Chains A and B, each alone.
Chain A
C-alpha cells in the first residue's frame, strides 16, 4: 500500500463517460478481467496473493467461516 494513497494516489475519480466506459468494460466477457486486475492493483488486492502461507510456522487453515467467537466461561457476556 503506497504511503500517501489516501491523500492523492493519482488514481482518477471515475465519473461521467469514463465511468460508463468502465462499467461497459467490466461487464464485458473479454474485457472484464482486465478491469478487475486494474482495480486489484489500485486497491492493493493483488498483494494478498503474495502472502506465502508455506513460509509461516503456524499458518491458519483457510476458512470461509464468519468470525464467530466462543462464549466466555459462564456462558454470559
Chain B
C-alpha cells in the first residue's frame, strides 16, 4: 500500500481517450470487471444493487464513436458513473433500499440522470443505500450493506453508502447521491473521498424516492473536487416537479477548480460545536486549521446562535417530513420496513404541528446566524462528522440497531448544511489511529459552490494525503 496514492480522475481518462491509449469501452469493461470482483469477494463490497454490462457497453460504444469522430460532449463523456438506487433510471426499478419497492422498471430517467446521459456519461449501475435514506450508517438489514474499501469490516456511512464505496474502491470516479442530513458527506467522509451538497435547489431532486421535502439535496461524491464541479455544471438547473430548482438562479458554470490564495482566506469555526466529537476528529481538525494559519489564512472562532439546537431541528424536521413521505406506504407495507426504520417513522408520525413549527422557527434563527457569519467570512469550517466509521456487528446486519450516540455523532456537523440549505463540501483529511478516514467540511454562501470548491482546493493542499484503500483498482493501468 503506497502512501503517495493518487486516484484515477475523469480527466485522466479523457487524456487517455484523446491519445487513443484506451477507449471508453476498455474502461467500462475494466470498471464492470472490478465491480463484479468486488461483489464476489468475501465479504462482498455490496456497493451495487444493479450492474448492467450490456447497457453500459452500449453507452460506452457510442461514446467511443464520439471520441473517434472528435465529437465528445464534455467532461463526463465516456466516464462511468454510479447512481444511488433512490433515483429513477429508465429500464431499472427504484427500490430505495427497501424490500418492497422496485417491483417494476421505471420508464424514464430522472432529470439528473437524463442530463448525465446527455453529457455522455456511462450509467454503470445503481448503488446500495440505507433504507429509504433514513439514516447515516448505510446499514441495511433487509438489503445490501456496503462495506468500507478502507476496512471491509467497517460501515461506509450513509445513506448514499454504495455510491461512497464505489468511488472509494475506484469503480467509478463519480457517483450520484442525495443528502437530507449528511447522506452525501457522511459516506464521502467515511470512505475517504470528496462530496458536495450544493445549495438547496441548485440541482433538481425530482424523479426519485426522496425523503424530506425541505431538507433533501442531490449531489455528487467524487474522486476529486473537479469531478464535483463538473457534475454540478452538467446537472444544475430547474426541472418540473421540483419547485426550488425552478426558483434557483441561472447556474454560472464553475469550470476548472483553482485554489484560492491562502492569504486571502477568511475562515470561521465554532469551538462549541466540536463538543463531544472523537479525539482524533478534533485533533485532525485543529491540525488543518494550524496549517492554514501558517500559510496566511485568517481563521477565527465565532459563535453560532442556537448551535446546540441544530441537530434537534434536523431530527424534528426529517422525522416529521420522512414520516409524512411514507404515510401511504406504511398502511400497506409496515411489516416490510426494517425495525429501525419503523421505529423512527413511528416517532416521526407523532411529531405535532406545533413541534414542527417551533423547529422551523428555530431553524430560521440558525439560518440567520450563518448568514451573519458569511458577512465577514468566506467559509464556515468544521470536521464533516463527529466520529469515524464504526465496525459492523452481526446485530447490525441481521435485525438492525438504533444507536442514538452514533446518530448524534455522525450528523453532528452535517445537519447545519441541510437546515440552512447552504452549500457544504467534504474533503478527505487523512486517517485516524485505526487507519479509518477523517475529513474536513466547508460551508459557504448561498449559490457559491464555485467559491466553496475553490476554498476547498486550498484546504486540500494542507490536509494529509490519503493512502490507497485496501479495496482499490485504478481504471487505467499504472
Q: What residues of chain A have their CB less than 8 Å away from a CB belonging to chain B? A: 1, 3-9, 11, 13-16, 19-20, 22-23, 26-27, 32-33, 35-36, 39, 42-45, 47-49, 51, 53, 56, 59-69, 71-72, 75-77
Known A32-B346, A62-B360: A15·B448 in contact at CB below 8 Å:
no
Q: What residues of chain B have their CB less than 8 Å away from a CB belonging to chain A? A: 199-201, 213-214, 244, 247-252, 275-278, 306, 308-309, 311-313, 315-316, 334, 339-340, 342-343, 346-347, 350-351, 355-362, 364-365, 367-368, 386-387, 395-396, 399-409, 412, 419-422, 446-448
A44 touches B252 (CB 8 A): no
> CB-nearest residue of chain B relative to A36?
B350
B346: A residues at CB distance < 8 A: 23, 26-27, 32, 35
A68: B residues at CB distance < 8 A: 200-201, 244, 247, 421
Indicate which residue in B316, B343, B361, B412 contacts A22 across the interface (CB closer than 8 Å).
B343
B316: A residues at CB distance < 8 A: 45, 48
B357 touches A15 (CB 8 A): no
A33: B residues at CB distance < 8 A: 350
Q: 25 A-B pairs, CB-CB below 8 angstroms?
A: A1-B275, A6-B276, A6-B412, A11-B404, A11-B405, A19-B401, A23-B343, A27-B342, A35-B343, A35-B347, A36-B347, A36-B350, A43-B312, A43-B407, A43-B408, A45-B315, A48-B358, A49-B358, A53-B361, A60-B365, A60-B368, A61-B364, A64-B357, A67-B214, A77-B448
A48 touches B312 (CB 8 A): yes
B402 touches A45 (CB 8 A): no
B347 touches A64 (CB 8 A): no
A51 touches B358 (CB 8 A): yes
> CB-nearest residue of chain A relative to B412?
A6
B402: A residues at CB distance < 8 A: 13-15, 19, 22
Q: Which 7 A-B pairs have CB atoms at the shortest separation, nearest pair first?
A: A67-B421, A71-B249, A77-B447, A26-B346, A69-B446, A6-B409, A66-B214
B387: A residues at CB distance < 8 A: 6
Tell me, in angstroms, the Cα distance from A44 to B370 when the chains sit together: 21
Nearest Cβ on chain A to B349's Cβ, whole angstroms: 8
Tell me, in angstroms, the Cα distance from A45 to B360 when the chains sit together: 13
Nearest Cβ on chain A to B291's Cβ, whole angstroms: 25
Tell me, in angstroms, the Cα distance from A20 to B342 when the chains sit together: 10
> CB-nearest residue of chain A relative to B349?
A32
Tell me, in angstroms, the Cα distance from A65 to B128 when the chains sit together: 31
Q: A14-B343, A66-B214, A67-B420 are in contact. List 15 more A-B contacts (CB 8 A).
A: A1-B311, A5-B276, A13-B405, A19-B400, A20-B339, A26-B347, A27-B346, A36-B351, A47-B312, A48-B362, A51-B365, A63-B360, A69-B447, A71-B249, A71-B447
Tell me, in angstroms, the Cα distance from A35 to B178 when the chains sit together: 29
Tell me, in angstroms, the Cα distance from A60 to B408 when the chains sit together: 27
Nearest Cβ on chain B to A62's Cβ, whole angstroms: 5
B399 touches A15 (CB 8 A): yes
Tell me, in angstroms, the Cα distance from A48 to B347 when the chains sit together: 16
Known A16-B399, A75-B250: A63·B312 in contact at CB below 8 Å:
no
